[in-house]
Amino acid sequence: MKKVRFGDSASVPALGMGSWNLGDSTASRNEEIASLHMGLDAGLSVIDTAEMYGSGRSEHLVGEAIRNRRKEVFLISKVLPSNASFSKTLRSCEASLDRLGTDYLDLYLLHWRGSIPLEETIEALTTLKAKGMIRRWGVSNFDTDDMRELDLLSSDCAANQILYNLEARGAEFDLLTRDRNAGIVSIAYSPLGQGGDLLDDPVLTDIARHHETATGPASPAQIALAWTLRHPNILAIPKAGTRTHMRDNIAALDLELTGKECEQLDKRFSPPQYKTPLEMI
């Protein structure tokens, strides 16, 4: 299975699982947990959540899904910028651990940059790491200038979670390379364009028609994932609330796009020619 490696040598499968909106509805709860279990059974160890998602409901659901399976999981959560002061970050992390039913996170991210000075948040993240409550920390939605500023304050950042998919390729201009050269893992969120128009795109649909996967004829979603995963050291975290979608996503790990198909995709979704501000959802 394709892997990504963190600066401290920890390595995880390049395909992980998102969890935004999971846990919001009682009716779909069992299916969502079954979907996460299917991913874990296939070896997808990374689960991404955040205190923001459903005001803790996602963390509760993930906690239920990983009960008795904690050791198999590489668990990511995030602190809101409004909670990123020294004392509130510590409190937020404790509350996340409580909801998740665990005593450590593998990775804790600042969800996006807010008004609290970065130094103060880094001090809190460093304290959490020293206490063993988190194994490593990182950021999310940080553009190249933010990363440069962060570099001046610490060399301990493990990951930068960013919007990255065929429709949002701005990070290719310089951010992906910069982070990779600095030993920072890029985590691609919304790799399926949130299940929107991207998955009906005629070019993706046509490319999918030429591929078979373990689950049968390829789907546009699998093409979108295979495209995101083609980069070295990118971890993609699609969210699948159903086992049908999870099965489809797992099979995408074995799908290789040809050079010609990548060219077709470049023609349809142009790579950036100049720097644009990092988009975020």
Task: Specify the stretch interacting with ligand NAP by CB under 6 A; choose among 15-23, 63-71, 97-105, 260-268.
Answer: 15-23
Residue 133 interacting with ligand NAP (CB under 6 A): no
Would you say 172 or 273 has its CB closer to ligand NAP?
172
Minimum gap (Å) between residue 29 Cβ and ligand NAP: 13
Contacts 24+ apart (CB under 8 A), 140-146: 140/78, 140/109, 140/110, 140/111, 140/112, 140/187, 140/189, 141/111, 141/112, 141/113, 141/278, 141/280, 142/112, 142/113, 142/278, 143/175, 143/277, 143/278, 144/174, 144/175, 144/178, 144/275, 144/278, 146/113
Q: Considering only residues 229, 240, 253, 265, which one is a binding residue for ligand NAP as defined by CB under 6 A?
A: 240
> Rounded to 5, what percent of the chain is helix, strand, coil?
45, 15, 35
Q: Smallest distance from the beta carbon of 224 to ligand NAP, in angstroms?
A: 8
114 binds ligand NAP (CB under 6 A): no
Tell me the per-residue interface mask from 165 to 204 with ligand NAP, x by CB under 6 A, - otherwise.
------------------------xxxxxxx---x-----
CA dihedral defined by 40, 13, 192, 281, rounded to 10 degrees?
100
Residues involved in catalysis: 53
Contacting residues toward ligand NAP, per CB under 6 A: 18-20, 48, 111, 140-141, 161, 189-195, 199, 219, 221, 237-242, 245, 248-249, 280-281
